Amino acid sequence: MDIKNIEARTDKPANGIAALILNLLFTIVSIAVAIGGIVLLAKGISDVAGAVLLIAGIIMLVVSLILYGGLNVVEPNHALVLTLFGNYYRTITEPGFYFVNPFSSAANPVYEAYKQGLLSETVKNFKKGDETSNVNESAPRKTVTLKAMTLDNGIQKVNDVLGNPIVIGAVVVWRVKDPTKAVFNVENYKEFLSIQTDSTVRNIARLYPYDLIEDIDEDEIHTEKTLRGSSQEIAESMKTELEKRVGFAGLTIEEVRITHLAYSEEIAAPMLQKQQAAAVIAARQKIVDGAVSMVKMAIDKLNDDNIVMLDEERKAQMVSNLLVVLCSNKDTQPIVNSGSIY
């Protein structure tokens, strides 16, 4: 059955309180009728009438007990999806106490999987808000929850666009938007979301490099996206992609956050050395550029103010000394020349 071709029935069913009162009265009447039949049979007033009343009372009592099965409670932020003899019956999304067809049954694949012990370890690690919910302590119910929930799918090893193996983890904040589609369009919407999250994280992560290490133009630094430097933008891409994948299942994605990102163990050490080397080279380049600028400024200042006139050989020696002083990693020791410089 494709729920896309079925208009979800969300109108309010009969009020449960009124149905309960009427059914209680019906139960009392059925008991009274059965007792009346027993009295007639016991006193021998009319065996036929007594038997008829007794049978009618028993039938009425059985019917009233069956009608109690149609009473259902829907809590806030929950939905009750019902089927009747294998066909879709109705969906109740508003909280309250209702009476529906007693032969209808609630449909929730997560609840059925829990009863059969088929929930995967991934689904058992689902979190509700900031508090981890253990399946054994917070078992699924027949109603479909509409609350925002968090899926922590752990970490997985993928390759970035450069082929470097990395480990990445993400959490997904999601909720059921259309409970009817969630129940009928996929086998188990939590399992479905978990698998699609794995696939989405893997597909998006392999489109970007982990980090920019090679030399690039300064204009490209602000445009090139990386997993480490543009995690928020990439998480938005994951959210958009995941919404497309799970939309037909009646799920909506509120947020995707990258929680873990690192090089894989086998290349973590050499990649760290490469990053350190790039940082050292960049720092040295800035130091040299600054030192050359300061040396040029010093020589120009000496010449402009006619403080001292230096030939080309002395200029070269002065440049060498200044560069040593400005670019050295250690403190230099000055030497005072008390004689002539020539």
Q: How many domains, in total, are found in the chain?
A: 3
Intra-chain end-to-end CA distance of the chain, in Å: 101
> What is the DSSP annotation of 197-231?
HHHHHHHHHTTS-S---S---HHHHTT---TTT-H
Note down pLDDT in tens along the chain; length 342 residues. Answer: 555 555 667 677 889 899 999 999 999 999 999 888 888 877 777 777 888 888 999 999 999 999 999 999 999 989 999 989 888 898 998 899 999 999 998 888 887 777 666 555 444 444 444 433 333 335 567 888 899 999 987 888 888 888 888 888 899 999 999 999 988 888 888 889 999 999 999 899 888 888 765 544 444 444 578 888 888 888 899 999 999 999 988 999 999 998 888 877 766 566 666 666 667 777 777 777 777 777 777 777 777 766 666 667 766 777 776 766 666 666 666 665 555 555
**Final residue in a domain of this structure, among 88, 105, 122:** 105
CATH number at residue 130: 3.30.479.30
- Tell me whether residue 334 is in a domain: no
Q: 306 in the Ramachandran plot: left (φ > 0), alpha (ψ -120 to 50) or beta? A: left
- Tell me whether residue 85 is in a domain: yes
| 118 and 253 part of one domain | yes
188, 109 contact by CB (below 8 A)? yes
**Final residue in a domain of this structure, among 263, 280, 304:** 263
- Tell me whether residue 332 is in a domain: no
315, 303 contact by CB (below 8 A)? no
Nearest to 327 by CA among 284, 268, 277: 284
Amino acid residing at 241:
E
Q: Which residues contact 316 (CB under 8 A, 6 or more apart)?
A: none
| 274 and 246 part of one domain | no
Nearest to 140 by CA among 112, 168, 111, 177: 111
Q: What is the pTM of this model?
A: 0.67
Dihedral angle over CA of 137, 143, 149, 153, nearest 10:
70
- Tell me whether residue 178 is in a domain: yes
Dihedral angle over CA of 148, 154, 160, 166, nearest 10:
150
Q: Could you count the other beta carbons within 10 Å of the beta carbon of residue 291?
A: 18
Domain region containing 79? 3-105
Q: Which helix (H) or strand (E) holds 280?
A: helix 265-304
Nearest to 149 by CA among 45, 251, 46, 40: 251
- Tell me whether residue 333 is in a domain: no
CA 52/CA 219 separation, integer angstroms:
95
The upper half-sphere exposure of residue 11, i.e. CA atoms within 13 Å in the direction of its Cβ, equals 4
CA 172/CA 72 separation, integer angstroms:
32
